[in-house]
């Protein structure tokens, strides 16, 4: 049985090479057409059919079954794509649920435990084992944000979401724990520089995800960009929150 097997894998490599060339040459060809052409060539069907006595009937049957096979292949391809989309959506949902659960778990802790957990993950310098007064104030502000409540429109907030944080402005307050926030996007040039995105990014936000608020956001040159002077402390507060989860 092994006598008929090829010694090398050149046959398979050539087949993959032809397929790769076909993808480059016919970018929009359907899978049905692509597989049919390759099967026809690799199996030498042209030579085989011309040697058959019922050549005409074989060609007639092939033309008749062509639309049926094309429809079947299209349905199978749609099923595969649908399965891939469902898996992708499911993975995204599981990821978001995991992140939300982690935040909710830390929010259920007493306030002093949240501060303690944040302190245990703090990196101390080699020169001193004590935090500066500014760092202590930042940590207290971070912990206090877990009891933040929306109170007024126009308020600037930093929101923990999707494993990162966003800076935005409250535009509609529905309740102390829920509001619509319009978010800025970070500029490419500077991390402390923000701008309004081309398409408005407005989302309903819960107060439990707000970890900093009432910081200054000042217009930069031209009025199109916005500077956040406290951006460094906001990042540190976010890192403490992230390390405590």
Confidence (pLDDT) at 171? 93
Confidence (pLDDT) at 123? 44
Domain limits, the chain: 30-108, 134-243
Q: Which two tokens stand for residue 58?
A: 């074989």
Residue pair 115/219 in contact by the 8 Å Cβ criterion: no
Distance, CA of 186 to CA of 245 (rounded, Å): 24
Stated pTM of the model? 0.42
Mean pLDDT, rounded, of the chain:
77
What mean pLDDT comes out for the span 234-241?
86
Distance, CA of 216 to CA of 167 (rounded, Å): 11
Q: What proportion of the chain, given as a percentage, has pLDDT over 70?
A: 79
pLDDT(68) > 80: yes
- Digit-coded pLDDT (tens) for 11-36: 788 888 888 888 788 777 777 788 88
pLDDT band at 159 (very low <50, low <70, confident <90, very high): very high
Class of domain 134-243: mainly beta
Distance, CA of 210 to CA of 131 (rounded, Å): 24
- Digit-coded pLDDT (tens) for 92-143: 888 888 877 777 666 655 544 444 444 444 443 334 334 444 554 544 444 4
């Amino acid at each position: 049985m092994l006598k008929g097997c090829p010694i090398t894998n050149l046959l398979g490599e050539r087949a993959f090479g032809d397929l790769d060339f076909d993808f480059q040459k016919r970018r929009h060809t359907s899978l049905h057409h692509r597989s049919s052409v390759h099967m026809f060539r690799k199996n030498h069907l042209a030579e085989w059919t011309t040697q058959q006595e019922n050549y005409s009937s074989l060609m007639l049957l092939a033309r008749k079954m062509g639309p049926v096979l094309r429809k079947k292949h299209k349905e199978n391809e749609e099923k595969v794509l649908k399965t891939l989309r469902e898996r992708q959506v499911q993975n995204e949902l599981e990821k978001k649920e995991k992140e939300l659960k982690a935040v909710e778990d830390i929010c259920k802790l007493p306030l002093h435990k949240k501060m303690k957990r944040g302190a245990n993950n703090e990196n101390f310098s080699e020169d001193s084992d004590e935090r500066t007064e500014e760092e202590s104030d930042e940590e207290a502000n971070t912990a206090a944000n877990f009891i933040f409540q929306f109170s007024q429109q126009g308020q600037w907030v930093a929101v923990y979401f999707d494993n990162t944080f966003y800076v935005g402005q409250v535009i509609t307050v529905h309740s102390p724990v829920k509001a619509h926030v319009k978010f800025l996007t970070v500029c490419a040039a500077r991390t402390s520089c923000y701008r309004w995105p081309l398409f408005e990014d407005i989302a309903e936000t819960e107060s439990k995800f707000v970890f900093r608020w009432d910081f200054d956001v000042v217009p930069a040159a031209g009025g199109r960009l916005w500077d956040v002077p406290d951006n460094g402390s906001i990042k540190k507060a976010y890192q403490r929150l992230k390390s405590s989860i």
